[in-house]
Amino acid sequence: MKLMTGNANMVLAREIAAYLETSLTDAAVRRFADEEVFVEIHENVRGEDVFVVQSTGYPANDNLMELLICIDALRRASAKRITAVIPYFGYARQDRKPGPRTPISAKLVANMITAAGADRVLSIDLHAGQIQGFFDIPTDNLYAAPVMSADIKARFGDRNLMVVSPDVGGVVRARALSKRLDNAPLAIVDKRRERAGESEVMNIIGDVRGRFCILIDDIVDSAGTLCNAAAALRESGAEDVVAYVTHGVLSGGAVARVDGSALHELVITDSLAPSAAVQASDKIRLLPIAPLLAEAIKRIADETSVSSLFD
């Protein structure tokens, strides 16, 4: 087995390699003067089982091209099997046609990864479960819920917990976390979205008075939904509000919005490399995801069950 990475999240790749007690494949992923991506592998990978770790977050197009060219380089170097390990799968929010003459970009990206030569895909908390079906190759969708629930129990296990979904679409995710927290009660934030990137909280479904609320979501981008939900929960009598989100995209002024919000804390995984603003924030904490990814990689390489990770 060999482990290779692009430039999207070198720290995460090194942590995965350390967990697996191996080293990263010696390769150069760099740019020509005109910003074209160039990949050169400096060691033999013929007949090897290679895992390419590369999130496709900001800058999404650059990181996606790095992934595709790494896969192509490995295929042309006669790697036996290539697994694209994509902790954060970019373009996942474009998973359907919300209106006429719009693309399904998640399917296009899936086709590109397959055409480049990937034999398998490994990701965490895909925005929509049906994205697994966009690939014509085996696709494993891991869940951050076990890591999050362990952290919640360790830090807030003695509190009067309630799991909250920030919208109706996230109820399944919230219910799964609730079961891991000894069937903690569930609440839902009912909101109306006037336009993309903006949300207006309407009401809270469930009694949150005196509860320590855990907001759970897969992606935080502008953080508007989370911050509005936290404010609404506090106004409804919640004792405090902590948000657990798998992918901390946090674009634009999101970090400043979180810092000034009613949230006690925002916990995100390191599926995306944290920006300087995220690292400087007192309200944002990183939750390591490398052990989960490394264990899944090990099981895929050993041809053993990945789903048993979540039993």
- pLDDT, one tens digit per residue, over 46-76 is 999 999 999 999 999 999 999 999 999 999 9
Confidence class of residue 193 from pLDDT cuts 50, 70 and 90?
low
**What domains lie within the chain, and their CATH numbers?**
2-143+291-310 (3.40.50.2020), 145-288 (3.40.50.2020)
Q: Is the pLDDT at 167 greater than 90, yes or no?
A: no
72-92 pLDDT, tens digit each? 999 999 999 999 999 999 999
Which residue bears the tokens 């839902």?
A: 188
Would you state the pLDDT for residue 4?
A: 98
Q: In this structure, what is the dihedral angle of CA atoms 215, 219, 224, 226, given to the nearest 10 degrees?
A: 0
Predicted confidence (pLDDT) at residue 198 exceeds the cutoff of 70: no
Radius of gyration of the chain (CA): 20
90, amino acid identity? G
Greater confidence (35 vs 311) lies with 35
Binding residues: 34-36, 93-94, 127, 167, 193, 217, 221-225
- Could you tell me if 144 and 98 are in contact, meaning their C-beta atoms sit under 8 angstroms apart? no
Confidence of residue 168 (pLDDT cuts 50, 70, 90): confident
pLDDT recorded at residue 222: 93
Peptide bond connecting 98 to the previous residue in cis, omega within 30 degrees of 0: no
pLDDT value at residue 286: 97
Q: What is the pLDDT of residues 130-161, one digit of tens each?
A: 999 999 999 999 999 999 999 999 999 999 99
pLDDT of residue 200: 66
**Catalytic residue set:** 191
> Which pLDDT score is estimated for 178?
96
Above 60 in pLDDT, residue 197?
no
Q: What is the per-residue pLDDT across 269-306, written as a single tens digit (0 to 9) for each?
A: 999 999 999 999 999 999 999 999 999 999 999 999 99
Q: How far apart are CA 66 and CA 63, in angstroms?
A: 5
User: Rounded to an integer, what distance in angstroms lies between the CA atom of residue 209 and that of residue 75?
Assistant: 57
Confidence of residue 191 (pLDDT cuts 50, 70, 90): confident
**Rounded mean pLDDT of 206-230?**
95
Mean pLDDT computed over every residue of the chain:
94
pLDDT band at 102 (very low <50, low <70, confident <90, very high): very high
Assigned token pair, 98: 């919300």
Order the strands of the 139-142 sheet from edge to edge. Answer: 2-5, 49-53, 81-86, 120-124, 139-142
